[in-house]
Amino acid sequence: MSFSDSIGARARGRKAAFLLLPLFGLLIGATSDALAINCVADAGGIIDGFVNYPVPPSQINLDGNCRIQNYPASNPMTSNFSFDGTLRGLLIIFDNVDFTGNMSCNASHDHKLWFVNGSTTTLNQSCQNILIPVEKIDKANPPGPPFVTIGVPFTWTLTIPVLFDPATGTVINFQGSINDLHSITVVDDLNATGVDLTYVSHTATWLDDGTLVPHTFSNVGNVLTFDNFPIVTAGRQFVINLTVVLNNTPPNAPGTQFINTAKWDFGRLIDGTFYEPLPGENGVTPPLTISGPMLVVDKTGPATMNLGQWGDFTLDVQNTGLTDAWDVSLRDLFPDGPTGGMCDQTPQILSARVFAADGVTPVPGKGPLIQGTDYTFNYTGPPTCRLDLTMLTAAARIGANERLIIQYRTQLDANTQDGITLTNVAGAIQWFNGDAGNPDRIVTNRTLTNGTVGVADHEDAHTVTVDLFGYFFEKTVADLTSGANPATTAAPGDTLRYTLRFQTTDQPLANFRIDDVMDALNAVPAFAAGTLTLVSVPPGADVTNTNSNGGPSGTGVLDVRNLSLPLGSQFQIVFDITLRLPLANGTVVTDQATFRQANGTVLGVSDDPNVNGQADPFVAGDEDPTRVTIVSAPAFRIQKISTDLTGDPSCATPSRSPTSATKTPST
């Protein structure tokens, strides 16, 4: 049943002062332009462009209360109207009428004109004077940008009533009406939007105190009817909050615009006469556009990198869609190969935050993101070489045009060769249009390919050229006794194997030496004297000054001289040494070798790349000594006590004399 049919049905079922006479079966299909009719006598009080008079009559005599409806701009009402001179106080309703005809009005006859729902007019001033304000539904979209997304409920707000001036097309009182409104019925046809909507819920509350408004509700085929409201007294308003959701169906294509119209009728007094039903000015929302989040990823970083240096990289993820992107998952694939890569070092997150479209202005309410709280971090080393980040909270939600900017750093792998290029691909692989609490939210999945550089999409790639310079002097340790390599802990008496690796990059080195004084950095000697044993040295090296009992502690000195190394080459020096017995649990055994000119001038010290990564060759003090923590075997004390449980005097002992034994393993 259409809205006009509904009003007609209600009119026939009520006792009201505004009586619409029967149509007398006069449903005229195609009428002549020269037709002249009496509104009540010939048309029963209703002239409907969709039903009984598709062609407007040329002349309409207003012989009683009359309703003109459904003559939009495509079929305007061109008729000439005249009032029966003997009648007074008629109410003439125009509902959805583009009126371009003429009307003769006489204010002294107390007639009233009621224009609603898009009705426009070329009335002269005398007729404008009898055009009265009408009640309207103020229907509003959800706050924020006019965009909605599939699967995420949104709420329309209907404020009833406000007072509307049809002459100017504006609301003249947002605080209500000056009239009591009776028997309000509101009809909202979700099918009329042109998109596929599902009713979710609604509330009806008084605006002044927030209490619930009694009413009835029905949903028949997506046509929502709100009825049986109490009388809304002058100056009072109520609010219907209507929540609906877009379904994941073909009509709801991204970019589709739609509006929603809430139609209604009611009864009220006009100049002391009660009329019912009166069509109110409909509540029509501004257009909403169906949209979804769309992510564009930009990956930036340094043009060149050197061994031991940190490279700072940025993932810039912008939401170019019109609705929020939730729970975004990012993936960064790091290069790795026989000539080098950026896979061995776990990347370090420097910062993560959502910014405005300019990438600089922080978004209110969205502070720096906290790892483990606002996002997950997972790095898988060789051979996968993959960083995965997943956003978790509202602080990590990327709104329309906002940017999630993540900055991290990493280093080249130790085996990386000079001059090669390394490319890593990064992108957004998953995101949602709603939060995790919404089971109907829509997921978007994407796959990483080659980064599609130059294309604004979900992925990007960045290429680094390896530019090696300086030298690298590294020292690592393995525990031959336990098999740990690299070793971070050891037991007293274990044999350790130290490996010194020296590499040139941009220049050769000639006639230099490397020495390592055992226990030079330890407060208490940790190595057993006489156990230092050379395993391998470069060909031609001079080891005659190496002494397994040398040094201030007498625990050994490694001294290798006559060393030279061409450009882009490396060598190793390997030696074994045994830890002393005993050593206290928790002792840290520290060792660091020195690189010198032939005359003894110190040029640098060794770095353990397993501690804080490779050292930057041009940052003084960036080198880490090699450290091993002693984990000694536990010591046990066993105590045995004899006690007389029988009370036999012959077994009694005057004092407690335990038999005890302490077993302490050799350390």
Task: Output the pLDDT for position 477.
Answer: 97
Task: Output the pLDDT for position 662.
Answer: 38
- β-pairing, 626-630 vs 489-490, is parallel
- CA distance linking residue 102 with residue 99, whole number of Å: 8
What is the CATH number for 603? 2.60.40.740
Task: Output the pLDDT for position 637.
Answer: 57
> What's the rounded mean pLDDT across residues 154-168?
95
Answer with the one of 94, 115, 132 that is the final residue of a domain. Answer: 132
Range of the domain at 510: 471-630
Partners of 113 in beta bridges:
92, 131
**Tens digit of pLDDT for each residue in 384-433?**
999 999 999 999 999 999 999 999 999 999 888 889 999 999 999 999 99
448, 368: one domain: yes
pLDDT surpasses 80 at 92:
yes
638 φ/ψ angles, rounded to the nearest 5 degrees? -110, 125
Around 636, how many Cα atoms within 13 Å sit in the side-chain half-sphere?
6
pTM to 2 decimal places? 0.64
Write a three-state SS string for 127-156.
HHCCECCEEEEEEECCCCCCEECCCCCEEE
> What's the rounded mean pLDDT across residues 525-553?
97
355, 482: one domain: no
Contact 64, 21 (CB under 8 A): yes
Mean pLDDT computed over every residue of the chain: 88
| Domain-located, residue 376 | yes
313, 457: one domain: yes
444, 328: one domain: yes
pLDDT surpasses 90 at 515:
yes
Contact 526, 584 (CB under 8 A): no
pLDDT-derived band at 634, boundaries 50, 70, 90: low
Task: Output the pLDDT for position 616.
Answer: 80
Residue 657 neighbours by CB distance under 10 Å:
8
Write a three-state SS string for 19-34.
CCCCCCCCCCCCCCCC
Q: Which runs of consecutive H residues, i.e. helices, occur in 406-497?
A: none
Contact 217, 241 (CB under 8 A): no
| Domain-located, residue 310 | yes
| Domain-located, residue 190 | yes
| Domain-located, residue 41 | yes
- CA distance linking residue 302 with residue 313, whole number of Å: 7
> What's the rounded mean pLDDT across residues 263-272?
96
121, 144: one domain: no
Answer with the one of 466, 486, 508 that is the final residue of a domain. Answer: 466
Answer with the one of 411, 446, 466 that is the final residue of a domain. Answer: 466
pLDDT-derived band at 639, boundaries 50, 70, 90: low
Residue 351: alpha-carbon gap to chain centroid: 17
340, 459: one domain: yes
Task: Output the pLDDT for position 646.
Answer: 60
List, in order, residues 6 or more apart from 282 with CB less than 8 Å away: 116, 117, 136, 137, 261, 262, 263, 264
**Tens digit of pLDDT for each residue in 464-509?**
999 988 788 999 999 999 999 999 999 999 999 999 999 888 788 8
| Domain-located, residue 271 | no
> What's the rounded mean pLDDT across residues 130-143?
94
Task: Output the pLDDT for position 661.
Answer: 38
